[in-house]
Structure 1
Amino acid sequence: MPDGASSAPLWWLALQINLQLASYKLLHTTGPAYRELYLTTREELSLETYCDDDEDGQARHEAHGGIPPAEGPPQLGQAPLGLATPLMNDAVLASVTRGMGTQHSKSISSGTAATTRKQQLQQVDVLQNMGISRHFAAEIKCILDMTYSCWLQRDEEIMLDVETCAMAFRILRMNGYNVSSDELYHVAEASWFHTSSPEGYLNDTRSLLELHKASKVSISEEESILDSIGSWSGCLLKEQLISGALQRTPLIREVEHALECPFYATLDRLEHRRNIEKASYLSCYTNNEILALGVRDFSASQFTYQEELRHLDRWDEHHKLDFYSEQVEIVFSAIYTSVNELGAHASLLQDRDVTKHLVEIWVDLLRSMMTEVEWRISKYVPTAEEYLTNAALTFALGPIVLPALYFVGPKISESVVKDPEYNELFRLMSTCGRLLNDVQTYEREYEEGKVNSVSLLVLQNGGSMSIQEARREIQKPIDTCRRDLLSLVLRKEGAVPRPCKELFWKMCKVCYFFYSRGDAFSSPEEKAREVDAVVNLPLQLKGSNASLLLPVVL
C-alpha cells in the first residue's frame, strides 16, 4: 500500500482501480440457461410460494420478468468472456431441472414447510460465501424481510436457537437491517456459567462459531455485548482446537480460519474461491447446482480480471518528453493518460463532466505528499492531529477508490461529492488504512527518517511509552474507524448510494488484508500468491466435484 511519493508504485494504483472495476464488467442480461438454474435455486431457497404470495415480492419479480435483474453474470447459455464451453452445460441443466423443485414448495409461513428459518439462512449464507448471491437478490430479500419481521417479534424459532439467533443477527446486520446487539443479551449472560455447564450450546462448535462471527460485525464501541461474546467464544474455540476435539471433524478448518482471519481482514474473491473449493465440508446446502454456478461465475470473473490486467501493459507506452528523470516521465505520462481516459468514460456514464474532479483528487494527493517532503526537509515534527490529517491523504486511496465510484452504476451528482457523508466515508477508510500501515511499518519508516503515528505517540509521552505499547494504543482508533465506517456503510439513510459505500468498506478490508499481520506491501510474495489465486490459478475441486471445472481459453 502506498505511504508516500517514494513508495507508491503506479502499477499498484492501476491494479487496484482495475480490480475494483472488474467485477462490474459482469453486468449483462441473463439467458435461457440461467433462467433454468435460477428457477431451481429459487425453489431451493423455498421461495416458490411465499415470495410470489407477497405483493411486494410479486412486483419485484414482475419488474424483471421473473428472473433476476440484469446484474447477473454473462449469459449462462453461451460461452462469453473466452470460456471454452458454456457456463451451463446440458448435464448440469438436466440436473437442475430434475433438482429439488417440489422439495420445498410449501409456504414457510404455513408452518408445514420442510425448510426452517435456520436452513434458509444457511442457504443465504452459502450463496453469499460463494459470491453468487447477487443473482438471487430479490429472493434473498424475501427471506431476510421475513426473518427481520420474526426478529422484531422475537420469534422463538430464531431466539431460542443460539446458532440461528447469531446467524440471523450477523446476516441481517450485514445486509442493512437495523438489528440491536441487545437481543443477544441472553447469550452474553450465558458466558458466566459456561464452565459449570458441560452440556448445551457452549460445547456446540457450530453455535460457538456463529457467535464468534456475529461478534465481529460490531458498529459501535458501546456494543460491549459483542465484545464479551467475541472474547469467550474465541477462548472456547481455541480450547477445542488445543484439546484435539475437532481434529477429525470438517469444522476444524473453519474454526482455524475464523480465529485467524476475521471477515474484515479478508478479500471477498479470495474467500469465494476458498468456499467453492471447500464446499464439501462447508455446508450441506452446497449442492451440485449451486456449486456449478459458483464455479462458472468465478471462472468468468477470472477471465475479466486477466483482461483488465492486460490493459496495464499500455502504461509502459509513454512518450519521450523532457522530464527530470525517467521515473517522473513514466509517472506523469501514466497519470495524465489515465485521468483523461477515466474522466472521459466516467463523464459519459454520469451525464456530466467529472474529469475536473478526478484531477482534483490527484492534486490533493500530490499536495499532501509535498507537505510530507517539506516536513522531512525542514525536520519539522507535526502534531498527531496534523500528521494524521495529512497522512490519511498520502496513503493514496483517493485515486484508487474515488474515481471507481463513478463506474459502479448510480449517478453521483456534484452535491453528493460535496456531502459530509462522502467525505466521512473517505476519511474513515483512509485513516483506518494509514494507521494499520503505521503499526506495521514503523521500523522501516524510522530508518528512512519519516514520522508516523507510532513514533509521534512515543514522543508525545516523553519516551515513557514503549513501541509495543504505542502499537497497542493505536489499535483502539483503528477499531473505532472500522466500526464507524461499517456503521456508515450499512446505514440506509444518506446521500451516497449503498453500492458506492460498499467500495469504501471493501478497500478497508484490503488494508486489513495487507497489514493485519505484517507489512505485506513491502514483502509481497505471500500476497502475490493469494492475488494469483484470484486472478489466474484455476479452481481445485476434488472427487466428483472436479467434473464441474471447465477450461479457460486465454
Structure 2
Amino acid sequence: KLLQLAVADYEFRQSIYRKELEEVIRWSKNKGMSDMGFGRDKTTYCYFAIASSIPLPYDSEVRMIITKSAVVITVADDFYDTEASFDELTTLTKAIARWDAEGLSGHSKTIFNALNDLVSEFVAKVRHQHGIDITYVLQQIWYETFNSWFVEAEAKWSMGGFVPSMEEYLGNGAVSIALHTIVLPASYLLNPSLADYKIRAGEYQTVTKLAMLIPRLLNDIQSFQKEEQEGKLNYVLLYMRENPGTDIQDSTAYVREIIYKNWGEFLQHVLMDGLAEELPKSCKFLHLSCVKVFQMFFHSSNRYDSNTDMLQDIQKAIYIPLNIRSN
C-alpha cells in the first residue's frame, strides 16, 4: 500500500511538472524567446533545474516566474555576448534604464517586450497578494543586470584596452550572473515574503551577496577555456594575470578555496536565526535552492551549455513513469 501511494504521488508530481513545462515552453515561444536564431534555447533546462531545486510544495507560480526570468536572462545574456553590435547593446541598455522601447527593433525589441511583460506579470501578482507596487524595484534590479552585461561587452569591444582588477571584475560579475535578478523578485511571492522589506538595487544583504558570488565563481571555473577563446573576462584567468608564475591548477584551486569559505558563511546566514538584517526564512531557503541550481550546472563541468548532458535526467524526472515491481 505504501509503495503504491509513493508511486502515485511521484506520478502526480510528474503530471504537474509536465503541465508547467508545457506552459513555460508555450510562453517562451509566444514571447519569441525560443525563436531568436542565436544562442541557447534552454527553456527546458531552466524549468528542470528550478523544479528539481524548488519542488512541491512550493507554489507553482514561484517555479514558473523563476523559469521565465531564467529564460529571459539566458537569451539576453547571449545577445550581449555573441549577437549584437556595440551600438545595439548601447541602445538596449539605455532603453532598459528608462524602461521605454522607443528606438528598439528586431531582437532588442523582442527582448525588451518579453521582459516588460514578465515584470508586469510579477507586479500584478505581488499587488494582488500584498497590495504593494514593486514596479520600480524590479525595473532597477533588471537594469542593474543588463548594465553589468553591457560593462562586460564594453570590455570585450575595447579590443583589449581595459582589463579590470580581480576585485572590479568580481563586483560586476556577481551581478551579471543574475541570481539576485531571479531570487529577489520571486521572494515577494513567498509566505512570508519580502513585502515588508525595502529592497534596493545594489544594496543587498549578506545572504544575497554571497548567493551572487558563489555561482559566479562556479561558472568561471568551468568556463574559463571557452571564455578565453571568446576574448571574455574570467576570474580564473585574471588571477593568473595578476599572479605571474601561476598556472590553471593554481588558479582554480584558489577560486575553489574562495567558494568553500563563502559557502560556509552562506549556509550560516541561511540556516541560523538571529543574524542582523535577516530576511524571512522562506526567502533565505529560496536563495539556497537557487544556488543549488548553479551547483548542479557547474559542479564538475559546464552542463548548462551542453545540449545533451541533462536530457536523460529530464526524461527520468518528468516523463518516464516509475517501474517498480512489488513482491
- TM-score normalised by the chain length of structure 2: 0.71
Q: Which of residues 229, 246, 250 is equivalent to 1:469?
A: 250
Find out whether 1:523 has 2:306 as its counterpart.
yes
Give 1:430 deviation, angstroms.
1.6
Give 1:339's aligned residue. Answer: 119
Q: Name the SS of the counterpart of 1:525 in structure 2.
A: coil
CA 1:491 to 1:393, structure 2 compared with 1: closer, same or farther past 3 Å?
A: same
C-alpha change, 1:348 and 1:324, in structure 2 (3 Å) is closer
Q: 2:283 aligns with which of 479, 497, 500?
A: 500
> Hey, what's the Cα distance between the residues in 1 that align with 2:203 and 2:11?
36
Q: Is the 8 A contact 2:14 2:318 kept in 1?
A: yes
1:309 and 2:89 correspond: no
Cα deviations by residue, 1:450-488 (Å, 9 ceiling, x for unpaired): 1111110000012x0001211111100111121111111
SS in 1 for 2:197: helix
State the 1:510 CA deviation.
1.2
**Residues 50-449 of structure 1 mapped to structure 2, 5 A cutoff:** 92=1, 289=2, 291-312=3-24, 313-318=26-31, 326-378=106-158, 379=160, 380-417=162-199, 423-449=205-231
The aligned residue for residue 176 of structure 1 is none
Q: What is the DSSP-based 3-state SS (H/G/I as helix, E as strand, rest coil) of the residue aligned with 2:310?
A: helix
The alpha carbon displacement at 1:296 in A equals 3.2
Q: Cα 1:538–1:326, aligned 2, differ >3 Å: closer, same or farther?
A: farther
- Aligned counterpart for 2:233 among listed residues 447, 451, 455: 451
Alignment deviations for residues 176-219 of structure 1 (CA, whole Å, 9 cap, x no partner): xxxxxxxxxxxxxxxxxxxxxxxxxxxxxxxxxxxxxxxxxxxx
How far has the Cα of 1:342 moved from its partner?
1.5
Which string of whole-angstrom CA distances, capped at 9 and with x for unpartnered residues, describes residues 161-190 of structure 1?
xxxxxxxxxxxxxxxxxxxxxxxxxxxxxx
> Conserved in 2, the CA contact under 8 Å of 1:489 and 1:502?
yes
2:296 alignment counterpart: 513
Corresponding residue for residue 488 of structure 1? 269
- 1:326–1:529 Cα change, 3 Å: farther
2:259 to 463, 470, 478: 478
Q: Which runs of 5+ in 1 are unaligned?
A: 1-91, 93-288, 545-554
- Structure 1 residue 418, shift from structure 2 partner: 5.5
- Amino acid of the residue matched to residue 28 of structure 2? W
Q: Is the 8 A contact 2:152 2:233 kept in 1?
A: no
Listed as ranges, the gaps of 5+ residues in structure 2 are 33-100
Q: For the residues of structure 1 that align with 2:225 and 2:168, how far apart are their CA atoms?
A: 21
Report the alpha carbon displacement of residue 293 of structure 1 after superposing the two structures with TM: 4.3
Per-residue deviation, 1:537: 2.2
Are the aligned partners of 1:392 and 1:431 in contact in 2 as well (CA < 8 Å)?
A: yes
In the aligned structure 2, how far is the partner of 1:363 from the partner of 1:400?
13
Shift of 1:368: 0.9
- Percentage of pairs with the same residue: 29
Q: Aligned equivalents of 2:203 and 2:264: distance in 1?
A: 15
2: CA distance between counterparts of 1:540 and 1:502?
A: 32
2:110 is aligned with what amino acid? I
2:78 paired residue number: none
Alpha-carbon distance in structure 2 between the residues aligned to 1:400 and 1:412: 14
Q: Quick one: structure 1 residues 294 and 420, their matched pair in 2 at CA, closer, same or farther if it must change by over 3 Å?
A: farther
2: CA distance between counterparts of 1:363 and 1:311?
Answer: 27
User: Which of the residues 303, 320, 324 maps onto 1:537?
Assistant: 320
Is the Cα–Cα contact under 8 Å of residues 401 and 503 in structure 1 kept in the other structure? yes
AA aligned opposite 1:345 = K
Change (3 A) 1:460 1:442: same
Q: Retained in 2: the 8 A contact 1:439–1:474? A: yes
Distance 1:414 1:524, change over 3 A: farther
3-state SS, counterpart of residue 205 of structure 2: helix
What one-letter code is carried by the residue in structure 2 that aligns with 1:315?
S
TM-score (norm: length of structure 1): 0.43
Q: Confirm or deny: 8 A CA contact 1:458 1:465 kept in the other structure.
A: yes
Q: Secondary structure, in 3 states, of the residue corresponding to 1:415?
A: coil
Q: 1:429 to 1:292 in 2, by over 3 A?
A: farther
Of 206, 223, 242 in structure 2, the residue corresponding to residue 460 of structure 1 is: 242
User: Do the aligned residues in 2 keep the contact of 1:384 with 1:457 (CA within 8 Å)?
Assistant: yes
Which one has the largest radius of gyration? 1
Counterparts of 1:524 and 1:425, CA distance in 2? 32
Q: Secondary structure at the match of 1:399?
A: helix
CA RMSD of the aligned region, Å?
Answer: 2.5
